[in-house]
Structure 1
C-alpha cells in the first residue's frame, strides 16, 4: 500500500532501464489505483496486481476481480502474500481459488508461501511450506506455464533479516520437490522466486542459489535506483 501518481516517474525510469537488461524479466505490482496508469506509461516491463478476488464479480465492495485486473492491463497477479494470509486471514483454500480465478482470466500468477519465525524455530519450516503448497496450488491441466511460486519467510519481510544461503537452498529444493510431486515433470519448470528483505547488497548471493529463479522485491522496489540495482545483479548472473 504505497504509491501515488508521483510514483509514475519511478516506473518510467525502471522501464527505460529495462532496455539495458534484455535477458531479465522485470515487472512491478503497483496498487490497483495506479495499475492502468503504469500500464499506459511503460513498454518493456510487466505490470500486475497485488491480489484479486476469487469471484469474477458480485457484492464484494472494495475487492478487485481477476477480470478487472486483466481489463486494467495487468499481466499477472500476486496471491497468498503473507500479509494477506496474516492480516486478512486468508486460508490455503482461499489462495487456491484466487489463483485459479486469475489463471482463468488469462493472468499469470505469483503464489506466495512461507513460514513464521516460530514455525522455523520449531523446525517445522519445510513441512509448513509443503502444506501451503499442497493446499494453495491451483489445479492445472497440463504444464503450469503461468504459475510461479515465491518463497517469502514471514520473519524476513521488511525486517532486514535474511535466511542463510544454506537455508534458502534447502527450502527451494523442498519446494521444487513438492511442485514435481504435484505437477509431474511440469513442476520442474515452475519458477521459484525468493522474497524477504532482498536488497542490492544481497541480491547477487541470493539469486545465485540453486532453484532461485528470481526475486519478489518489497521495499527496495519503491525507488528505481534500488530496484534496478537488484535487476542488475540478476543480469550479471544470467538469471531471467
Structure 2
C-alpha cells in the first residue's frame, strides 16, 4: 500500500487542519471521548495502546492523565497533527509518526489495544483499515458519530464540511465490524452533553446566548436521556450522538462468499 492510496485533496486537507485547529473545542470533545473509552474498557488493563488517527493528541492526553495505560503510541496522516502531538509532552507517549492512512507499521498483535475514535467516518476504504487494526491489535475501541438520520442525503454539504464521508448507526457499525471478523465485547451509546452543545452553539456557531436557548438545550438532553432509560437500548440508540464499541478478533472469521 502506497501513500498515494489516500486522495491528494484529503491528505492536504488534514495536513492543514491542525495548523488552525481550535484547542478549547477539541479538548472539550476529547474529554468525553476519553471517558467513553475508559467506560467500555472498565475492569480491563492494557500494557501498550496505539491510537490510530490521533489528531492533535487530545484523547491521549486525557487517557494519560487518567493513567489508562503505561505506554502509548500514535499514528496520524497529518504531519501538522504529529508535530502538535509531539509538542504536548504526553506522559508515557513512546512514539508518534505519520502513516499512510491504511498500512500500520507494526508487527502482528503488537498492541493490547488500538483506539479508533471518530476516524472511520473520514476513511475512504474503511474495511482496509479495519483489517489492519485486526492484524495489529488484540482488542480495539471504535467510536463513531451517529450521523445517519432520515434525509441524511440532503445534508451532504454539512457533513462534508467536517470530512464525514461515511455515516453510521449503531446497527450499521455492528454489521460492518461483524462482517470483518470482530466480536463486540462491550458497547456504549452517548448523547452530546449540554456543556458541549452550549459551547458549539455560542462559541463555534456564534449564536446569541439566551435563557430560553439554555433551557431548551438542557431540557432536550434530559428528555431524551429519560426516554432512553424508560424504553431501553433501541430508543437510546435512536437518540444517540455517538456509539462506542470494544471489540476483539472473533474466534470464527466470516465467510464472505
TM-score (norm 2): 0.34
Q: Whose RCO is larger (CA < 8 A, sep 6+)?
A: 2
TM-score (norm 1): 0.36
Larger Rg: 2
Greater per-residue strand proportion: 2
